[in-house]
């Protein structure tokens, strides 16, 4: 026997043995060998594979962690659409109320109305309809494809027709079989749910906190985030699991859903141990109630139950209505709630300056996750709905995809003697006065939001303010994205928007993910933005209530920044289209010394506050949209733009079918290609002047 054959035999044996031990450990909870012995075999296989990569088997356990980083997540097209159950019965806490009647009606139908399983099945209805009740797993729906018993690829549900392929991450899930046992069909699509193991999730959060990283609040969102990572090592280090619950196409010969689940288990999938086969609706009711009782003690999250008609023949007869099966129905449990003590309320200031009250709690487990803070949403909820007082006990609730919230307050004797918790009058971060803004929602006129008025001087708002400053409708600084802004702010390079104009190439070159060419491009984009018109600078400064058209009205009316800065509320209100809220907020903006200082700084660094050309009506380009690209021989970008706008035309940043002309100069790039592709008219500078009647 040659040396190569010996390697092959040993490697094949190790793969089979390690996979068997892994199944015993992860799925059957019945290990035969110690972790140490397992690791030793695993390392032996790793060494052999490093020496003989040609003999590495696709189902090797090393493939769970060793995969390559992928460049992107390609689309994953479902051969049979992945439908969701639109039919959901919702239990309102704490009573089931009319839910059981609805379930009985689902089977029997209502008098004198079509519908009801029994009526639809007609003569095919058995005396007792058999169902399967399963926990509704609160995870991420997936489809896995197996060919000749080997896992080949898998993807997310997406919109039901196309999801994203995440095979590299699925491979890392310990209880997801890479190779099936017991004569599986040649080709198979298996559907199920990827979930976090909650004790593992808690451990991971503890470790993250110890390392100074942010906790994950919600296992389902964290699972979705993990599965979308490009580097499979991230998923490989996390406690995820997979439960199989259905098939894209049921393999031939299978007669019932329960039988399919039994096959899944035999082929090596984890099937949920709480699935129940039920004869008749009364057993279904018992199974749903039992599941709800066990919910809080499970190691993974469920948010309800699913009931399916067991017989595949009956499923076939019942069919679908719109995009939902008639033979299945979902039950939603109310979000889990617990009581805990309120320690204090923290007022957090978001990137837009909005102040949100957050309850700091005695840590408590809700639905398997430890919660130590919960949102109170806004002042109205805190003060008027809950009437929150110091020392209160609160009811905390955690629903699937929202952050934990305070759902109520526990009434206790003597409670009314304790003082109310008050909303601050000034920004807890910078001390500036708060602006009060009424909700847009007409039905909630009592609802107000509070914002820190110190838009440019408040540290909590800085990243948001800088990002907004450089955004497309404002100063339009290409390349100034959120990751870069966060770096500039955290390294202290940018403390206010005007600091952008003082950045040097050396400073930028030292940042992460910043090559020399991108630094040059960014500095060029920053330089170009010095020539933006007054209206765009006004928007960029983030004056509350001042959007695109208001900024234009103000710029046209007052002409220059100096005149606008000194306008009082009366003068502001005289501008057509400007209401009292806007004039008050503009006047207040210019009353703030920080803001005046920043306008002076912007002047110093050469930002021009270029006056808007007066509005032209009936100009040569009225109603036309033009796109500028490349360098024109004599006109600067700003001058060309001003001429077009003076003639009533609009200048857009991107080419679309609605573009009338693309004005192309030297070194025109992708915009020119796009124009050619879409058949948009292309002119040079001479052509533009001709359009303007200046040629």
Q: How far apart are CA 568 and CA 586, in angstroms?
A: 9
How far CA 525 is from CA of 226, 383, 470, 479, in Å, comes to 35, 47, 10, 8
349/388 with CB nearer Zn ion: 349
Starting at the edge strand found earlier in the chain, the sheet holding 650-652 runs 650-652, 625-629, 661-664, 681-683
467/663 with CB nearer Zn ion: 467
| Helix or strand (DSSP H, E) at 147 | strand 140-147
Tally of CA atoms within 13 A in the half-sphere of 604 that contains its CB: 11
3-state SS, residue 155: strand
Chain residues 483-502 in contact with Zn ion, contact rule CB under 5 A: none
Measured from the Cβ of residue 134, the count of other Cβ atoms closer than 10 Å reads 26
Q: How far apart are CA 234 and CA 202, in angstroms?
A: 17
Does 351 engage in binding with Zn ion (CB under 5 A)? no
67/357 with CB nearer Zn ion: 357
Does 354 engage in binding with Zn ion (CB under 5 A)? no
Binding window for Zn ion (CB under 5 A); candidates: 181-189, 231-239, 378-386, 445-453: 445-453
Site string for Zn ion, 96-135 (x = CB under 5 A): ----------------------------------------
Tally of CA atoms within 13 A in the half-sphere of 651 that contains its CB: 19
Binding window for Zn ion (CB under 5 A); candidates: 155-163, 449-457, 531-539, 595-603: 449-457
271/458 with CB nearer Zn ion: 458
Are 243 and 265 in contact, with CB atoms under 8 Å apart? no
144/452 with CB nearer Zn ion: 452
**Closest CB 454 distance from Zn ion, rounded Å:** 5
**Closest CB 632 distance from Zn ion, rounded Å:** 44
DSSP 550-596: HHHHHHHHH-SHHHHHT--HHHHHTSTT--HHHHHHHHHHHH-HHHH
Does 429 engage in binding with Zn ion (CB under 5 A)? yes
335/357 with CB nearer Zn ion: 357
CA-angle at 577, arms to 573 and 580, nearest 5°: 40
141/458 with CB nearer Zn ion: 458
Answer for which of 452, 599, 612, 626 binds Zn ion (CB under 5 A) is: 452
Binding window for Zn ion (CB under 5 A); candidates: 328-336, 356-364, 457-465, 609-617: 457-465
Q: Diameter of the chain by CA atoms? A: 99
Binding window for Zn ion (CB under 5 A); candidates: 227-235, 452-460, 597-605, 681-689: 452-460
> Which residues participate in catalysis according to the annotation?
136
Name the residue with tokens 């100063």: 475
270/454 with CB nearer Zn ion: 454
Does 458 engage in binding with Zn ion (CB under 5 A)? yes
Are 577 and 584 in contact, with CB atoms under 8 Å apart? no
Chain residues 369-428 in contact with Zn ion, contact rule CB under 5 A: 427
Beta bridge partners of 77: 162
378/461 with CB nearer Zn ion: 461
**Closest CB 426 distance from Zn ion, rounded Å:** 8
3-state SS, residue 392: coil
44/594 with CB nearer Zn ion: 594
DSSP 177-245: -SB--S---SEEEEEEEEEE-HHHHHHHHHHHHHTTPPPP--HHHHHHHHHT-S-HHHHHTS-EEEEEE
Answer for which of 33, 338, 430, 493 binds Zn ion (CB under 5 A) is: 430
How far CA 262 is from CA of 144, 250, 254, 408, in Å, comes to 18, 13, 10, 44
Q: What separation, in Å, do the N-terminal and C-terminal C-alpha atoms of the chain show?
A: 89
Nearest CA among 438, 240, 237, 471 for reference residue 351: 471
**Closest CB 348 distance from Zn ion, rounded Å:** 11
425/570 with CB nearer Zn ion: 425
Q: How far apart are CA 605 and CA 88, in angstroms?
A: 60
How far CA 199 is from CA of 180, 203, 209, 365, 576, in Å, comes to 28, 6, 16, 11, 61
Are 176 and 235 in contact, with CB atoms under 8 Å apart? no
The pair of three-digit structure tokens given for residue 435, joined into one six-digit string: 């602006």
Total binding residues toward Zn ion, as defined by CB under 5 A: 7
Q: How far apart are CA 315 and CA 309, in angstroms?
A: 6
Are 178 and 151 in contact, with CB atoms under 8 Å apart? yes
Residue ranges that bind Zn ion, judged by CB under 5 A: 427, 429-430, 432, 452, 454, 458
């Amino acid at each position: 026997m040659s040396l190569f054959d010996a390697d092959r035999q040993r490697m094949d044996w190790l793969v089979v043995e390690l996979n068997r031990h892994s199944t015993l450990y992860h799925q059957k909870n019945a290990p035969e060998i110690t972790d140490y012995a397992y690791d030793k075999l695993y390392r032996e296989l790793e060494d052999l594979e490093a020496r003989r990569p040609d003999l590495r088997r696709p189902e090797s356990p090393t493939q769970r962690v060793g995969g390559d980083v992928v460049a992107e997540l390609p689309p994953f097209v479902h051969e049979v659409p992945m439908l969701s159950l639109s039919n959901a019965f919702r239990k309102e806490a704490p009573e089931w109320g009319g839910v059981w009647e609805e379930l009985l009606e689902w089977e029997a139908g209502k008098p004198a109305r079509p519908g009801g399983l029994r009526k639809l099945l007609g003569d095919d209805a058995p005396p007792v309809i058999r169902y399967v009740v399963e926990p509704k797993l609160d995870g991420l729906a997936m489809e896995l494809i197996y060919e000749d018993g080997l896992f080949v690829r898998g993807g997310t549900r997406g919109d039901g027709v196309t999801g994203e392929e995440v095979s590299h991450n699925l491979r890392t899930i310990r209880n997801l079989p890479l190779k099936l046992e017991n004569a599986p069909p040649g080709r198979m699509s298996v559907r199920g749910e990827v979930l976090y193991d909650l004790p593992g999730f808690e451990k991971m959060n503890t470790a993250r906190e110890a390392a100074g990283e942010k906790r994950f609040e919600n296992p389902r969102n964290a699972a979705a985030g993990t599965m979308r990572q490009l580097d499979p090592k991230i998923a490989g280090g996390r406690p995820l699991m997979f439960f199989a619950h259905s098939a894209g196409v049921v393999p031939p010969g299978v007669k019932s859903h329960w039988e399919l689940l039994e096959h899944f288990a035999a082929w090596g999938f984890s099937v949920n141990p709480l699935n129940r086969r039920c004869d008749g609706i009364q057993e279904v009711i018992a199974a749903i109630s039992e599941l709800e009782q066990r919910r809080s003690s499970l190691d993974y999250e469920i948010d309800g139950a699913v009931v399916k008609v067991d017989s595949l023949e009956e499923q076939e007869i019942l069919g679908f209505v719109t995009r939902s099966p008639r033979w299945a129905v979902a039950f939603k449990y109310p979000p889990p709630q617990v009581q805990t003590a309120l320690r204090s309320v923290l007022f957090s200031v978001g990137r837009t300056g909005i102040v949100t009250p957050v309850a700091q709690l005695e840590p408590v487990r809700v639905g398997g996750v430890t919660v130590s803070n919960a949102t109170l949403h806004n002042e109205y909820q805190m003060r008027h709905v809950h009437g929150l007082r110091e020392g209160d006990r609160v009811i905390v609730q955690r629903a699937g995809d929202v952050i934990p919230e305070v759902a109520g307050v526990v009434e206790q004797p003597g409670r009314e003697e304790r003082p109310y918790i008050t909303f601050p009058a000034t920004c807890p971060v910078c001390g500036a006065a708060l602006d009060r803004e009424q909700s847009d929602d007409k039905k909630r006129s009592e609802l107000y939001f509070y914002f820190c008025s110190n838009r440019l001087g408040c540290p909590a708002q800085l990243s948001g303010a800088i990002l907004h400053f450089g955004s497309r409708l404002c100063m339009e600084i290409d390349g100034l994205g959120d990751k870069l802004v966060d770096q500039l702010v955290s390294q202290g390079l940018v403390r206010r928007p005007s600091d952008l104009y003082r950045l040097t190439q050396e400073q930028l070159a030292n940042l992460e993910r910043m090559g020399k060419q991108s630094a040059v491009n960014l500095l060029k984009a920053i330089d170009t933005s010095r020539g933006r018109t007054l209206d765009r600078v006004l928007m960029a400064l983030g004056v509350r209530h001042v959007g695109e058209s208001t900024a234009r009205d103000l710029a046209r009316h007052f002409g220059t920044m100096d005149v606008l800065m000194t306008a009082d509320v009366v003068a502001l209100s005289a501008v057509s289209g400007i209401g009292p809220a806007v004039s008050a907020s503009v006047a207040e903006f210019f009353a703030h010394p920080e803001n005046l200082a920043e306008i002076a700084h912007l002047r110093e660094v050469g930002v021009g506050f270029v006056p808007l050309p007066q509005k032209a009506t009936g100009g040569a380009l009225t109603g036309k949209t033009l796109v500028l690209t490349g360098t024109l021989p004599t006109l600067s970008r700003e001058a060309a733009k001003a001429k077009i706008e003076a003639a009533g035309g609009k200048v857009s940043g991107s080419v679309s079918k609605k573009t009338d002309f693309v004005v192309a100069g030297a070194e025109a790039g992708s915009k020119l290609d796009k124009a050619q592709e879409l058949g948009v008219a292309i002119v040079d500078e001479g052509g533009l002047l001709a359009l303007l009647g200046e040629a």
